[in-house]
Amino acid sequence: MDTRSAEAFLSQFLNSPVTDVRPIDQGEVSKVFSYNLLDEEFIIHFNSGREGFVREQYVHEKFSPQGIPVPRVVEIGRANEALCFSIAEKVPGRTIISYPEAEIKQILPDLVQQFTKMNEAKLGQTKGYGWIQPSGDGSHESWPEFLASFFREEQTGFWHGWYALFEESFLERDVFQRLYGIMMELSTYSPQQRYLVHGDFHLGNMLTDGHSVTGIVDWEMAFYGDFVFDLATQHLWTPQLQFPELVRSTWAVEGWDISYFEERLRCALLFKGIDGLRFYAKKGDRNAYDSVKTELLRLVD
């Protein structure tokens, strides 16, 4: 789906001409564009499945009334045989990551407050851990079961047949299994209490007016589990900002302690890292693979 195709689809679907169609994110499996319709700004997101879009819609309906700045999803549908789409209101502002680091640091205290709201979100009568289902329940009965599900041999979609990488690429089974085992051991330090987790919590998914956070977008990977996993994602993208320590110290002033902080953060970093190992092996990027491997071994040795 390119810009011209997106504009043609929108004009036909909305039965009205759209203007200023611009690509925002062109990932492996999804394409995102902004556009204007009758002086209002929207985002259209194309993906092969609709599950993530339904999840985003639920997160908005359930948690935006609790003060979490989740954009409203106004339409979900199918664009063609291969692609589904969602249309959401465009959040004002620019991504935080687009600002100079000095200005980003001025925004971080408000981001900590937004993260605190997510941490305090009321999950209602829902149950379970993992992916948020249309019912509001989680996809798995336990937190370790959810983590283990990512790396089972039987997968669909992008990771279908991924065990072949152990034979056909430079993905090292002994290294992978050692790191996976340590991650699963550390997962027992996570609390039984469930939290709302964004799942892709980095500064490219947060918008600002330059002073405060105006919106947190892209909730397709939202799940119930350990909030420290969001801190780990932020740290992997922008380690120089030391966001996990900023949250920890801010909460400590309020009298809140994050139990087993180091163990939980290490678990989350291992989870992200071993997923990175198989990703770079699949892509054939040996340099990136070796870099991630070195960091992971340093984390556990």
Give yes or no for residue 26 having a pLDDT over 60: no
Q: Which of 73, 89, 105 is the last residue of a domain?
A: 89
Same domain, 245 and 195: yes
For residue 29, what pLDDT band results from cuts at 50, 70 and 90? Answer: low
Q: Do 76 and 197 belong together in one domain? A: no
Least confident of 16-30, 87-101, 211-225, 234-248: 16-30
Q: Give me the residue label for tokens 């996809």.
A: 139
Per-residue pLDDT at 30 exceeds 90: no
What does the pLDDT average to over 126-131? 96
b/e sequence 229-268, b meaning 16+ C-beta within 10 Å? bbbbbbbbbbeebebbebbbebbeeeeeebebbebbbbbb
Are 290 and 182 found together in one domain?
yes
Q: 57: domain CATH number?
A: 3.30.200.150
**pLDDT of 67-125, one tens digit each?**
999 999 999 999 988 899 999 999 999 999 999 999 999 999 999 999 999 999 999 99
CB-neighbour burial class of residue 207 (10 A; exposed 0-12, middle 13-18, buried 19+): buried
Same domain, 161 and 250: yes
Spatial contact of 282 and 165, defined as CB atoms under 8 Å apart: yes
Of 42, 44, 20, residue with least CA distance to 31: 44
> Per-residue pLDDT for 148 more than 80?
yes
Residue 17 above 90 pLDDT?
no
Phi and psi at 125, nearest 5°, equal -90, 10
Asked if residue 78 and residue 104 are part of one domain, the reply reads no
Tell which of 41, 66, 89 closes a domain. Answer: 89
pLDDT for position 24: 86
**CA angle at residue 235 from 230 to 237, to 5 degrees?**
100
Here the tokens at position 43 are 């985002």
Average pLDDT over residues 232-249: 94
Q: What is the CA radius of gyration of the chain?
A: 20
In a shared domain, residues 30 and 116:
no
- Region 227-251 average pLDDT: 95
Is residue 183 located within the same domain as residue 291? Answer: yes
Does residue 15 surpass a pLDDT of 90?
A: no
pLDDT at 274 over 80: yes
Q: Same domain for 196 and 265?
A: yes
Judgement on whether residues 80 and 107 belong to the same structural domain of the protein: no
pLDDT level of residue 142 (50, 70, 90 thresholds)? very high
Q: Residues 60, 168: one domain?
A: no
pLDDT given for residue 28 in this prediction? 58
Are residues 151 and 232 part of one domain? yes
Are 82 and 224 in a shared domain? no
| Number of compact structural domains in the chain | 2
Alpha-carbon distance of 119 to 220, in angstroms, equals 18
Handedness of CA 43, 229, 214, 127 (dihedral sign): positive
Residue 188 has a pLDDT of 95
* CATH number for 163: 3.90.1200.10
pLDDT at residue 157, as a whole number: 83
User: In which domain, by residue range, is 154 found?
Assistant: 94-300
Could you write out the DSSP letters of every residue in 258-272?
A: -TTHHHHHHHHHHHH
Q: Which residues contact 159 (CB under 8 A, 6 or more apart)?
A: 278
pLDDT of 164: 96
Contact 184, 141 (CB under 8 A): no
Residue 271 has pLDDT above 70, yes or no: yes
CA dist., res. 11 & res. 28, Å (int): 25
162 vs 152: CA distance, rounded Å? 9
Alpha helices (runs of H) in the chain, residue ranges in sequence order: 3-14, 51-63, 101-119, 143-149, 165-168, 173-186, 228-237, 243-253, 261-283, 286-300
pTM: 0.91
Quote the percentage of the chain above a pLDDT of 70: 98
Domain's final residue, options 89, 115, 133: 89
Q: How far apart are CA 201 and CA 206, in angstroms?
A: 8
Summarize pLDDT for 176-201 with one digit per residue, the tens: 999 999 999 999 999 999 999 999 99
